[in-house]
Amino acid sequence: MAKYKTKGLIAKFATANPPTTQTIIQLGDSSLEFGERDALINVTTHDTSTGTHEFLDPGFKSPASFSGEILYDPADQVHEDIRSAFESGNDRYLLLTLPDTGAATILFKCRVKSMSMPLPVMGKMVLNVQLEGLASTTFTP
């Protein structure tokens, strides 16, 4: 079974579905949350005989989300699109290509939920971005 390191991730961000050329350059440490399934429905009934509660999955989960550190360049078009999307609240698409042999992809519609930029005296201009999914994820292995 193959094992992979994470360096080499490609993230693209655009209005287009899917993004094609709009690579988020200078992307540093990042994190992808696949979402969380909704709380279980307790379906324990009078004839539950095992002494253990019974549950059903409700069939829904929350969308994926992505957070990342970007060495921010205000003149870069994609960095500016991220900032613009945050200000407007408009939808975008995020396409992640994993650095595995098959270049698996994860695509979802999202919005820019939050941005922050620490400004220490001795530091790099880093934009911390959180993207929040708006619908289901398309995974292509």
Which residue ranges make up the site for other proteins (CB under 8 A)?
Answer: 6-11, 23, 25-30, 71, 99, 121-122, 124
Q: CA of 55: how far to CAs of 8, 21, 45, in Å?
A: 40, 45, 10
Structure tokens at 22: 């709009």
Element (H, E) at 28: strand 27-33
User: Least distance in Å: CB of 129 to other proteins?
Assistant: 14
Residue nearer to other proteins on the CB measure, 99 or 118 = 99
User: Least distance in Å: CB of 32 to other proteins?
Assistant: 12
User: Least distance in Å: CB of 98 to other proteins?
Assistant: 11
User: Least distance in Å: CB of 30 to other proteins?
Assistant: 7
Residue nearer to other proteins on the CB measure, 2 or 121 = 121
Residue nearer to other proteins on the CB measure, 61 or 67 = 67
Residue nearer to other proteins on the CB measure, 24 or 64 = 24
Half-sphere exposure for 74 (CA within 13 Å, toward CB): 2
Element (H, E) at 83: helix 77-88
Sequence-distant (≥ 6) Cβ neighbours of residue 43 within 8 angstroms: 54, 55, 56
Residue nearer to other proteins on the CB measure, 8 or 58 = 8
Nearest CA to 28 among 77, 84, 87, 79? 79
Where do we find the tokens 């620490």? Answer: 118
User: Least distance in Å: CB of 43 to other proteins?
Assistant: 44
